[in-house]
Structure 1
Amino acid sequence: MTTTIAIIIGIACLAVGAVIGMMFSKSTLNAKAKFIVQDANKNAENLIEKATVQAESIKKEKHFQAKEKFMELKSQHDADIQSRERKMQDSEKRVKDKEQKLNDDLSKAGKLEKDLDRQIVDYGKKQEMIERKQQELDSITAQKVEILERLSGYSAEDAKNELVEALKAEAKTKAQSHIQNIMAEASLNAKQEAKKIVIQTIQRIGTEQAIENSVSVFNIESDEVKGRIIGREGRNIRALEAATGVEIIVDDTPEAILLSCFDPVRREIARLSLHRLVTDGRIHPARIEEVVEKTKKHIEEEIIEVGKRTVIDLGVHGLHPELVKIVGRMKFRSSYGQNLLQHSREVANIAGTMAAELGLNVKLAKRAGLLHDIGKVPEQESELPHALLGMQWAEKYGENAEVVNAIGAHHDEVEMTTLLSPIIQVADAISGARPGARRQVLESYIQRLKDLEAAALSFDGVSSAYAIQAGRELRVMVESGKVTDDQSAQLSYDISEKIQNELTYPGQVRVTVIRETRAVNIAR
């Protein structure tokens, strides 16, 4: 553009010079006119030369800028290619790792299949031996029966018939007497009215079904957190399991960690502790122990708050603080798979409705219904049945005599002395007997895990014991000052022998004894 302007200016100057020259040549054509024309031509040539040089400089500068831009784009392109190659290499590595793990699993499955085949063969042999023993037993039994028949003079069939006839006559006499008693009792207790009250109570009370399980899921934002939770050589996860008594399961499940324990309080402590640790970002053994202790205190505060809210909702006033705390602990306990706090609230409402229909004290009935199962949440195991233990606590903390009797008599552990006691018994049966309310299997499973822990705690030097992996492993923490390394091995053997001889359990139980020495000082 600059070159073009310079050329145009030069041409204009030449034209002007030519015009001036013509004018002067026509008039005088003197020397002065010629000089002006020559000077104009020189100026035009100089302008053209400067414009050409400037245009060349601009051309070189633009060429250099284009080259720099090209190099920048090429560098960025190479970086993108390298990034893609790294991602592809990472993906290939993950695929190879999964393939290796799959091969290992297939190998383990093959070994298990061989073991199963061997056990099937052993079972067949044992079955044949049992059949032979059964045949021998049948033969011996037949011989014994033959000897008895010969000694008594009766055949087996004759003796059976004579015994049946004698029992029939006795049963008829007792049945007639029992029927008369039932008829008299039914007429006195207004059977139809009682049915009406029970049915109306069931209709009025809305029930919620709470089924416990033994696994909680802790969600995480990314799988990178799993490595931080496990820690170097697994020290973080070991510290967390030792502090909470909960098994931490870290597997290929995306963005999730499983917490397994039969005790819901332990699971909740572990879940809240993990949440605090992951949120804070500082995860190491000392920090884990500190957070777990703080979480335990937080749970204790929550238990008290739940107890207060429950008694306020039910309109139960003047309850002793210790009983309020016991009511709060019910939230983290279950009875045959039914949440204990929900069950107690339900019994309190049912008992209150029935008491209102019968013209009894509604508030006292709700109070007894709420407290009837407090004996199921002791801080330490007790040999007493839960009804008697709850009755002792209620008496200790100054409860009404009718409430105390209703708690102790709701399973017929003591004699009923007031009208409130049968109401609590019936309300408890209504709440627990509806379909799906309870599961016997879970209760027996939890009791089995508690028995495992109790067996380990009975030995001297054991500070704590945790049943994990659904009862397939028992981890025992011992005091380093009382148990040596050599004694740890013997202790593990003794505990396993006690479990084998005294408890009933499926499969096998691994007993792991952990002994740890710590030296702690404080710099001030």
Structure 2
Amino acid sequence: MTVMSVILALLVGLAGLFAGQARGRQRRAEADNRLEREAQAEAERIRAQADTEVRGLREQAEQVRQQADQARQDATRRLQEADERERQIALQLEAQREQIAALRRDFEDERAQAKQDAARERESLSADRQETRRERDELKREIERLNRRAEQLDARGDKLDALEERLESRLRALSDQETSLADRERQVELRLYEVANLTPQAAREQILGRLDAELEEEKAIRVKAMTERATADARRTAREVVAQAIQRSASETSAQLSVSVVPIPNDAMKGRLIGREGRNIRAFEALTGVDLIIDDTPEAVILSSFNPIRREVARHVLEALVADGRIHPTRIEEMVHKAQDEMKTFIHAQGEEAAIEAGVVGLKPGLVQLLGRMYFRTSYGQNVLKHSVQVAHLTGIMADELGLDAGMARRAGLMHDVGKSIDREIEGTHVEIGINLARRFGEPVEVIDAIAHHHDPENGETLYSVLVAAADAISAARPGARREELEAYVRRLEQLEQIAVAFPGVQQAYAIQAGREVRVIVQPEKVSDAQATLLAREIAGRVEQDMEYPGQVQVTVVRESRAVEVAR
């Protein structure tokens, strides 16, 4: 029973255990369900909260992305700006490097120039020392000669004392003779009064009347001479006043015809153009013959010269120097030679263009070059090349109307003033020079006749001279074609240069400052420093003697010595 009870008890226990387990499982299932529901609710809450946070994070991420894009753009812009600043700094460094190189070159040139100056100074001191020794020797010889001369004068003084004693005795004898002659003269005068039946008073009145008549005639002659001299002085003064008034009132025309304005990049370039102690501007003016005016005009300098060829060459040289940046006397000289060669090419091109415009073919190259020179030549203010082309057109038109050879007429019209291309360089009128040039280049007889008689067509041998004369008068007579005052002004400047060049030892002469200064370049081996001073005075005296001009003219003689050696 005990076992059965135990078994039953065990079974009951097991049944209870199983029932408890079932209830536990049920409770656990309910708890799990409850927990699952709570977990789902919590998960939903958490998911909703996560979605909200994700949306916030997405918005923040978008803002961060936008900020990153803005930062990236700012960084890119700053990088570009940094690159630009770096490029500008590189350019500035390059410019400073070029300036340093230019300054170094200028310093080397100045040091070489200083060495040359020191060598010249040493040579000059040596020459002065030798000259001093020579003068000392000459003074010693002069003192000895003066001593001998003093001894001779002492001997002559003794002779003169003896001669003076003889002269005094002779004077006493002559005084006695003079007294006796005065007595005889009074006796003769009394005798004459008796013979002429005149009292002394009547004779005195007759003599005074004769003297009055002679004095009246002399007075008339003197008054006439003084009147003529006063008239001449008044006319000269009037001409000077009028010429000066014309110069002052014609500033606009003068500026257009004798001044060129050259732009420069900045005002600092003006100092480089002047150079140390003005050496660059002096070299430029000496080589070109053009006055370089550097004033307060911003970013511009002025070239002044009455000669348009020189002024054009100077303009090309100045523009090339400004563009190159290397400005020193040697570079200026190279640029001047180069510009002069280019000017020859330009002149030839102008001659060809004028021949084509006038319809004239078959001209020799020499004649074409002479025609091109007339591009820079004016006659009474009228451009000679344009005037010649106009005359060629007019003669061709009139020749067509008359049934003549229009080509020959145009050729004669174009060539009628060819002598003016070099009439300021050689002697003779432009007609004589033009005839010689036409014959030298083998021009037809009709052209030579037109050149020879375009001012006196009644003496011409062909009708072409008449046509050219008529066309010349038409071209010159149009309103505003000519200005006589400018031509006289240019002739005066040319005469200044011709007077200076006529002196021996003068290499070149340039009239500048509107004729108020003539700058003379002399050959240093022929003219010394002392002779240069005398030469300036002689040129000034010749200008005063041979010319009429307003105001005053300054004569500046420039003497420059150069020592050149080539290192091989």
2:292 is aligned with 1:248: yes
1:516 and 1:333 map into 2 onto residues whose CA distance is 32
Q: How much has 1:363 moved relative to structure 2? A: 0.6
1:408·1:414 contact (CA, 8 Å) conserved in 2?
no
- Partner of residue 425 from structure 2, selected from 353, 356, 381: 381
**What do the CA deviations read for 1:155-200 (whole angstroms, capped 9, x no partner)?**
xxxxxxxxxxxxxxxxxxxxxxxxxxxxxxxxxxxxxxxxxxxxxx
* Secondary structure in 2 matching 1:356: helix
How far is the alpha carbon of 1:347 from its aligned partner? Answer: 0.6
- Equivalence for 1:28: none
CA contact (8 A) 1:210 1:437 kept: no
Deviation, 1:281, is 0.4
Q: What stretches of structure 1 move > 6 A for 4+ residues in a row? A: 141-144, 209-212
Tell me the secondary structure at the aligned position of residue 391 of structure 1.
Answer: helix
Q: Which residue of 2 aligns with 1:12?
A: none
CA distance in 1, matches of 2:410, 2:504: 45
Determine if the alignment matches structure 1 residue 457 to structure 2 residue 501.
yes
Which residue in the other structure is 2:379 paired with?
A: 335
Task: Show the counterpart of 1:265.
Answer: 309
Q: TM-score, normalised by structure 1?
A: 0.60
> Pick from 427, 438, 443: which aligns with 2:487?
443
**SS state of the match for residue 474, structure 1?**
strand
Which residue is equivalent to 1:296? 340
8 Å Cα contact 1:219-1:257 kept in structure 2: yes
CA contact (8 A) 1:212 1:337 kept: no
Cα shift at 1:256:
1.5
2:554 and 2:222 map into 1 onto residues whose CA distance is: 46
1:344 pairs with 2:388 = yes
1:354 to 398, 405, 410: 398
Cα deviation 1:474-523 (Å, max 9, x = unaligned):
11111110011111111111110010111111110010111111011112
Please report the RMSD computed on the Cα atoms of aligned residues, expressed in angstroms.
Answer: 2.4
Structure 1 gap ranges (5+): 1-135, 145-208
SS at match of 1:399: coil
CA distance in 2, matches of 1:424, 1:338: 17
Tell me what 1:231 maps to.
Answer: 275
Q: CA deviation at 1:383?
A: 2.8
Q: Distance in 1 between matches of 2:257 and 2:316?
A: 18
CA distance 1:258–1:413, change in 2 (3 Å):
farther
SS at match of 1:341: helix
Q: Is the 8 A contact 1:331 1:339 kept in 2?
A: yes
User: Identity of counterpart residues, as a percentage?
Assistant: 53
Shift of 1:313: 2.5
User: 1:253, 1:236 → 2: CA distance?
Assistant: 19
Match of 2:558 among 505, 509, 514: 514
For these two proteins, the number of residue pairs brought into alignment is 325
The letter for the 2-side match of 1:213 is: L
The amino acid of 1:438's aligned partner reads: R
The offset of 1:216, in angstroms, is: 1.0
Residue of structure 1 equivalent to 2:436: 392
SS of residue paired to 1:316: coil
Instruction: Report the secondary structure of 1:213's partner residue.
Output: helix
- Secondary structure of 1:506's counterpart equals coil
The alpha-carbon deviation at position 312 of structure 1 amounts to: 2.1
C-alpha deviations, 1:66-102, integer Å up to 9, x for none? xxxxxxxxxxxxxxxxxxxxxxxxxxxxxxxxxxxxx
Deviation (angstroms), 1:349: 0.5
Change (3 A) 1:419 1:413: closer
Decide whether the 8 Å contact of 2:457 with 2:465 is kept in 1. no
**Residues 1:266 and 1:142: Cα distance change in structure 2 (over 3 Å):** closer
Say which one has the larger Rg.
Answer: 2
Question: Is residue 452–residue 467 contact of structure 1 (8 Å, CA) maintained in 2?
Answer: yes
Give the Cα separation in 1 of the matches to 2:425 and 2:500: 14
Deviations 1:398-441 (A, max 9, x none): 11101110011011299300011110001001001111101101
Higher mean C-alpha displacement, 427-436 vs 411-420: 411-420
Distance 2:486 2:269 in 1: 32
CA-CA distance at 1:379 after TM superposition:
7.2
Instruction: Give the deviation of 1:277 after TM superposition.
Output: 0.3
Distance in structure 2 (CA, Å) of the matches to 1:264 and 1:143: 50
The answer to whether 1:419 aligns with 2:419 is no
The whole-number CA distance in structure 1 between the counterparts of 2:340 and 2:223 is: 68
Structure 2: unaligned runs, 5 residues or longer = 1-215, 225-252
How far, CA to CA, are the matches of 2:558 and 2:427 in structure 1? 29
Partner SS state of residue 262, structure 1: coil
- For normalisation by structure 2, the TM-score amounts to 0.55
Deviations 1:130-167 (A, max 9, x none): xxxxxx99x948999xxxxxxxxxxxxxxxxxxxxxxx
Q: Does the 8 A contact of 1:466 with 1:474 survive in 2?
A: yes
Structure 2 counterpart of 1:401, which letter? V
SS in 1 for 2:277: helix
